[in-house]
Chains A and B, each alone.
Chain A
Amino acid sequence: MESIAFRRKVADRTMKLLFLIAAILVVAPLFLIFADLLWKGAKELKWSLLTDLPHPVGEPGGGIANGIAGTLTISGLAMAAGVPIAVMTGIYLAEYGKGWLASTVRFCVDTLAGVPSIIMGIFGYVLIVLPMKRFSAWAGAAALAMIFIPIVIRTTEEMLRTVPHSVREAALALGIERWKATLFITVRTAWSGIVTGILLAMARILGETAPLLFTALGNQFWQSHLDGPIAAVPLQVFTYAISPYDDWHDKAWAGAVVLILMVLSISMAARFFTREKKWKT
C-alpha cells in the first residue's frame, strides 16, 4: 500500500515539474529572440538607419528609410480600403445579418482568415501586377487588405455583440432612427474594441513579408509613385538576411529591431485601448 502511495506522489511531483518545464520552454524562445535582436541589431542601430537610403554592399552606413516609408504607405492603403469594408461588413453581420448572405459571408470570413498570406500575394499579383504589367504599392496593398479585412470583420462583429440589447432598446425608444442609433450609439459604444481590432490587424500586416514578395517587390530607392515597385521593411530584412554578406546581415538585424518596434508599439497601443474600463450593462 505504501509503495503505491509513494509512486502516486512521485508521479504527481514529476508531472508538475514537467508542466513547469513546458511552460518555461514555451516562453524561452521569446527571451532568446529579443536578446539576439538587441545584441546583433545594436551594431547598425543608428539614427541614419531611420533617415538614409540603403547603401550598396561594402559601403558602411545606410538605412531603411525608404522601407519604413514604403511599409507605412502600403499598410495605409490597405487600411484605407480595408477599414470601411470590414467595419461595415461587421455592422451588417452583427446588426442586420440574417439569412443566406450573412451565413455565406461569415463562412467567407472564416475561410479568408485561414488563407496563407503567400496566397494573398498571388491574389495581388494576378489581380493587379499582371494587368498593369508592373509591380506596385497598389498590388501590395491589395494583398495586405485581404489579410486585414477578415480579422477586422471578426472583431467588429464580436465587439458589437457585446453591446447590451438594452442600449439598442433605449435608442429605439428615444425615437432615434435605426441607422443613426447603430452608428452613433451602438458602434460608438463598441468603438474602442473595434479600434483595438483595427490596430491588432494593422500590427499584423505591418510585419507581413510573403504577400509583398511579388506585389510590392521592394526597391533600393525612394518611390514616389504608387504604381511602381516600392520598398518595405520586412522585404529589406528578408533580402539582407538571405544575402551572403556579413554587413548586410547586421543590417537585417537592425531592420528587424525597427520592424518589431513598429509592430509592438501598435500592439501596445491596442492593449491600451482595451484596458479602458469596461462599461456596465
Chain B
Amino acid sequence: MAAPIGNIKDRLFERATAIFAAIVLGLTLLLFALLLRESLPALKKFGFSFVTGTTWDPVAETFGALPFIYGTLVTSVIALLIAVPLSVGAAVFINEFAPPWLKGPVAFLAELLAAIPSVIYGLWGVFVLVPLLRDHFMKPVTKLFGWVPLFKGPVYGPSMLAAGVLLAIMVVPFILSVSREVMATVPQRQKEAVLSLGGTQWEMIRIVIGQHCIPGIFGATILGLGRAIGETMAVTMLIGNRPDILFSIFQPGYSMAAVIANEFTEATGDLYMSALVAVGLVLFLITFAVNIAARLILKQLLARASRGI
C-alpha cells in the first residue's frame, strides 16, 4: 500500500532544498575547521599556556591570551551588573504598570536601540560617554575611594568601566525583550490570587514573578552575556587596548574581539597571525558554550510554561 509519494519533480525539489540545508551545515563545519587549522601553529607552540599566559608580546613572539580573556569577562560582567537590573525593572514596568498606549512605543524604542550599529555606539562612547564618565564619575570616585583597589587611579577615560557601561546599553534591548517574554508566561490567575489575598502590586511581583521568572531572567542574562562577550567595535573603541591584567575597573584593558580587530591587519609573522586566530577560536568556543547554556535554560523554562506549571 505504501504508494510512492510525490513525483520526480517533487523529489527533486525536496532534494534541492536539502542540498541548501547541507550547504549551511558545510559552512558551519568549514568555519570551525578554518579556525582550527589556522590557530593550530600557535596552539601547538604554546599549548594550554596560550589561555593561561599573561604576556602578549608580538616582537618576542610570546603569546598568552589571558589578559584578553580577563578584559572580556570583566567588561561583560560590568555590563550585566548594570543591564540586568535595568532591563528587568523596565520589563516589569512595561508589562505590569505602563498604560497600554505606552507599551508599543517603549517596545519600539527598545527595538531601535537594538538596531543601532555598534560602530555608532562606539563613536558615541568615545566622544560622549567617556568624557561624561571620566569627569563626573571616575574622577570624583577616585578622589574619595581611590584607596579601594577596584577604583584605583589614574583616570584616563578609556577603561574597562567605560566599555562595560556602553556594553550594558547595547545588551539591554535583548535582556529586556526576553524578560518580557518570560514574564508574559506567568498565568494571570496566579497574579490575581496574590492580589485577592490583599497583597500589594509589589508583593505580587515579588512573589509571582520572583518565583516564576528567576530561571528565565537567568537565561536572558546568559543570552546577554553571549552578546557582550562577542561585541567588537564598541569595546575596541572604549576599553583602552592595554594587554595587562589590572584590577581597577578605571584602568584600560583589552578584550578578545578587540585584539583581533586591532592587530589582525598588522600581524606580520605567521605565528602572530595564528595566535590571533587562536584568540578567535577561544572566543568562538566561549560564546558557543554560553549560547548553548542560555538556550537550554530558556527552552526548559518555556516548555514548563507551556505545560502550565
Contact = CB atoms under 8 A, between A and B. Distances in A.
Which 5 residue pairs are nearest across A and B when measured between Cβ atoms? A116-B230, A207-B117, A22-B89, A179-B13, A88-B20
Given A37-B120, A118-B261, A153-B24, A179 B14 contact: yes
Interface string A49-60: 000000000000
B138 interface: no
B237 A23 contact: no
Contacts, number: 257
Contacts of B28: 108, 111-112
Given A19-B97, A101-B21, 4 more contacts: A114-B287, A114-B288, A116-B232, A119-B35
A82 B49 CA distance: 39
B123 A11 contact: no
Nearest to B286: A116
B interface, over-half SS: helix
Nearest to B20: A88
A209 interface: yes
Nearest to B294: A114
Interface string A161-197: 0000000000000000111001100000000000000
Interface in B272-308: 277, 280, 283-284, 287-288, 290-291, 295
A125 B260 CA distance: 12
Contacts of A123: 30-31, 34-35
B25 interface: yes
A122 B126 CA distance: 26
Contacts of A121: 260, 264
Contacts of B34: 122-123, 126-127
Contacts of A213: 261, 264-265
Interface stretch (A25-33, A72-80, A220-228): A25-33
A27 B112 CA distance: 10
Q: Which of under 10, 10 to 19, 20 to 34, or 35 or more describes the interface residues of B?
A: 35 or more
Interface of B: 6-7, 9-10, 12-14, 16-18, 20-25, 27-28, 30-31, 34-35, 37-38, 85-90, 92-94, 96-98, 106, 109-113, 115-124, 126-128, 169, 172, 176, 200-203, 205, 226, 229-233, 237, 257, 260-261, 264-265, 277, 280, 283-284, 287-288, 290-291, 295
Contacts of A40: 127
Contacts of B203: 8, 12
Contacts of A92: 14, 17-18, 20-21
